[in-house]
Amino acid sequence: MFKPKVLNSKIVFKSFFNVQEDHLLLPDSKEMKYYFLKSKEVVSILPITQDNKLIVNKQYRHATGEYIYDLPAGYIDEKETPEQAAFRELKEETGYESSNIKKLGVFYPLAGVTNMKIYFFKATDLKKIGNQQLDQAEFIDNELIPLKEVKEKILKNEWKDMPLAFCFLLNSILDK
């Protein structure tokens, strides 16, 4: 199998996401530059209430120009485990706590474009403990949607967020 040799790397753009440029040596001795979004690891949480409703976020996503339904999610902070980040993000974005968070899997959403790794979790045994504790640039409305309705919205392509659709599907498969 082919794996290029990295001759050097540098961050060429630094912001919310960083763009990394790698100078590669290919097996045929040719060289090329490869660019990708360098990202921290992320958690995405599927919070399901006792009465089988999914807590979803509705927020404007500028890159799409649309209001998107998605899951509570966020970066894993330094010195934080994925599980700790899942508990924290659930509380911050929804005001709920869970006494039962289960890891569903770990996946790369776009391996050709970014090194981002998403840890997917299912949260049950939820308890509303307060208000959202959003970051300065977050403006999120929460909605509780029956699971049957969630499935219909995904299948009709009304909800287009990949982590939401994937995590919901993954949970459906693992629950059988």
pLDDT digits 0-9 by tens, 37-56: 999 999 999 999 999 999 99
Do 82 and 132 reside in the same domain of the chain?
Answer: yes
Query: Do residues 33 and 50 share a domain?
Result: no
Same domain, 49 and 31: no
Q: Cβ(126)–Cβ(49) under 8 Å? A: yes
Give me Rg for the CA atoms of the chain: 18
Specify whether 109 is located in the same domain as 26.
Answer: no
Distance (Å, whole) CA 132 – CA 153: 25
Residues 21 and 66 in one domain: no
The model's pTM is 0.93
Q: Do 69 and 19 share a structural domain?
A: no
- Are 30 and 85 part of one and the same domain? no
Range of the domain at 125: 42-174
Confidence class of residue 133 from pLDDT cuts 50, 70 and 90? confident
Assign 135 a pLDDT band (cuts: 50, 70, 90). Answer: confident
User: 80 and 31 in one domain?
Assistant: no
Clarify whether residues 22 and 77 are in a common domain.
Answer: no
Same domain? 134 vs 52: yes
Please state the domain count of the chain.
2
Residue 137, pLDDT > 90, answer no
Judgement on whether residues 9 and 76 belong to the same structural domain of the protein: no
Q: Where do the H-state alpha helices sit in the chain?
A: 82-94, 147-155, 162-174
The answer on pLDDT for 99 being more than 90 is yes
Contact 102, 26 (CB under 8 A): no
8 A C-beta contact, residue 171 and residue 104 = yes
Candidates 14, 13, 10, 16; CA nearest to 33 is 10
Residue 84 in 3-state DSSP?
Answer: helix
Please give the pLDDT value at position 17. 87
Mean pLDDT in the chain? Answer: 94
CA atoms within 13 A on the CB side of 120: 20
Give bridge partners of residue 67 from the DSSP assignment.
60
Asked if pLDDT for residue 132 goes beyond 90, the answer is no
**Separation in Å, CA 72 to CA 142, 148, 165:** 9, 19, 13
Classify burial at 137, counting beta carbons within 10 Å of its beta carbon; exposed 0-12, middle 13-18, buried 19 or more: exposed
